[in-house]
Amino acid sequence: GQQLNQSPQSMFIQEGEDVSMNCTSSSIFNTWLWYKQDPGEGPVLLIALYKAGELTSNGRLTAQFGITRKDSFLNISASIPSDVGIYFCAATRNQGGKLIFGQGTELSVKP
């Protein structure tokens, strides 16, 4: 099936550092989403992107929808311990259609 390649798979950073992760695909998508999953919980939507080139922020999080429609990235600035978790990108061609997820980036933050 279709795939989203998410990198890096894991990151170990110091509190206060900035973080960047990205998702790429060989297919074009019309909506890109970023989720965070805490241990033992379901994912929670962080940011939704609908237009190529769109840059959207949510607090310390910033995400961009790539111009080619085949990629997206997420930045977290000034990381804090509660940023720990697994971050997933997801994408769909139709806003209500099949939704594809990346493999996840596991973030660890050292105080």
Partner 1 sequence: EAQVTQNPRYLITVTGKKLTVTCSQNMNHEYMSWYRQDPGLGLRQIYYSMNVEVTDKGDVPEGYKVSRKEKRNFPLILESPSPNQTSLYFCASSGTDWGETQYFGPGTRLLVL
Judged by CB under 8 A, does residue 97 bind partner 1? yes
Q: Which residues contact 50 (CB under 8 A, 6 or more apart)?
A: 30, 31, 65, 95
Binding mask 1-40 for partner 1 (x = CB under 8 A): xx-x-x--x---------------------x-x------x
Task: Decide: residue 54, CB within 10 A, 0-12 exposed, 13-18 middle, 19+ buried.
Answer: middle
Which residues, numbered 50-69, are part of the site for partner 1 (CB under 8 A)?
A: 50
Residue 54's closest CA among 22, 32, 35, 23?
A: 32
- Of 13-21, 57-65, 69-77, 97-105, the segment contacting partner 1 by CB under 8 A is 97-105
107 binds partner 1 (CB under 8 A): no
Residue 104 engages partner 1 in binding (rule: CB under 8 A): yes
